[in-house]
Amino acid sequence: MADRPYVLLSCGMSIDGYLDNATGQRLLLSNDADFDRVDAVRAECDAILVGAGTVRQDNPRLLVRSQARRAERVARGLRPTPVKVTVTGRGDLDPEARFFALGDIDKLVYCASPALDEARRRLGQVATVVDSGEPVDLHRVVTDLHDRGVGRLMVEGGGKIHTQFLTADLVDELHLVIAPFFVGDSRAPRFVGDGRFPWRPDRRAVLAGCQQIGDVVLLRYALSDRFGES
Ligand SMILES: NC(=O)c1ccc[n+]([C@@H]2O[C@H](COP(=O)([O-])OP(=O)(O)OC[C@H]3O[C@@H](n4cnc5c(N)ncnc54)[C@H](OP(=O)(O)O)[C@@H]3O)[C@@H](O)[C@H]2O)c1
């Protein structure tokens, strides 16, 4: 029996591997059909995790949007939308951000120990702030999520979070959507940063499928033996 959730990492990037531009305005990489597909994937998960940088930069809702999918979750005895999770070193998050303000579900903040008191003061009314050591160890985060009943975790960015989950070999399934344009600005965040990734020329990842969705393409990779577990 695994002691961590099944982890699905989902992301969209430009042809040249960027997650966003550098303008401060959110860049839409996908199309409506793909956003709906992502909504369906979210609806199958117990929790959704993003880094504090994404909470600050994108102010995402991180909710299941389709009413039919929300109702279907409730019929299965679940909350309408998954638990929201973030990771922070500084704890400098706005309690009025949509991450905290929207959705009648738990919000978990895995916070580095030195910032814990300040984060609890700031966010204690809107989230559970968990002491996660210094620096925050993602193995500890996923083990704690497992202990809280999270069986299936969706990781939705940004680049620093992708890099850590992937280099730590904590991802079972990767969904990579490629948008049909370039960003061409090295100030913008990339899909991943530097690191020692388990999938290298001598250990190639398994391409489990590819699908055209309008003008984007979805690549699915199996990154562990657990791939496909429900
Ligand atoms: N295209 C997509 O699918 C997609 C999806 C999501 C995001 N994005 C884009 O990605 C960009 C944000 O990416 P990013 O790499 O800057 O940020 P990020 O990965 O979302 O968050 C990084 C932040 O998370 C916290 N963090 C991460 N790992 C930590 C650890 N081990 N210990 C303690 N804290 C940790 C730190 O927060 P503190 O600073 O609070 O210490 C760090 O600054 C945005 O431009 C967003 O639009 C794109």
Q: In this structure, which residue's CA is closest to atom 28 in ligand 1?
A: 161
Sign of CA pseudo-dihedral 96, 98, 99, 100: positive
Which pLDDT belongs to residue 1? Answer: 56
Tokens of 60: 């995402």
- Tokens standing for 32? 């409506």
Task: Fill in the DSSP letter of residue 59.
Answer: -
pLDDT at 131: 96
Instruction: Tell how far the Cα of 222 is from the centroid of ligand 1, in angstroms.
Output: 23
Nearest residue (CA) to ligand 1, atom 5: 157
What does the pLDDT read at residue 26? 85
Atom of ligand 1 nearest to the CA of 161: 19
Check residue 228 and give its pLDDT. 87
The CA–CA distances, whole Å, from 174 to 145, 154, 229 equal 19, 10, 13
pLDDT along the chain (230 residues), means of 10: 91 98 91 98 98 96 98 97 98 97 96 97 98 94 97 97 98 98 97 97 96 98 92
The radius of gyration of the chain's CA atoms, rounded to the nearest angstrom, is: 17
Contact status, residue 125 vs residue 13, Cβ threshold 8 Å: no
Q: What is the CB neighbour count within 10 angstroms for residue 75?
A: 8
Under 8 Å between Cβ of 87 and 138: yes
Nearest CA to ligand 1 atom 36: 88
- Best of 14, 19, 28, 186 to mutate for ligand 1, by most ligand atoms within 8 A of CB? 19
- Ligand 1 atom 31 nearest Cα: 136
Query: How many CB atoms are located within 10 Å of the residue 12 CB?
Result: 25
Instruction: Find, among 145, 158, 89, 142, the residue nearest to 119 by Cα.
Output: 89
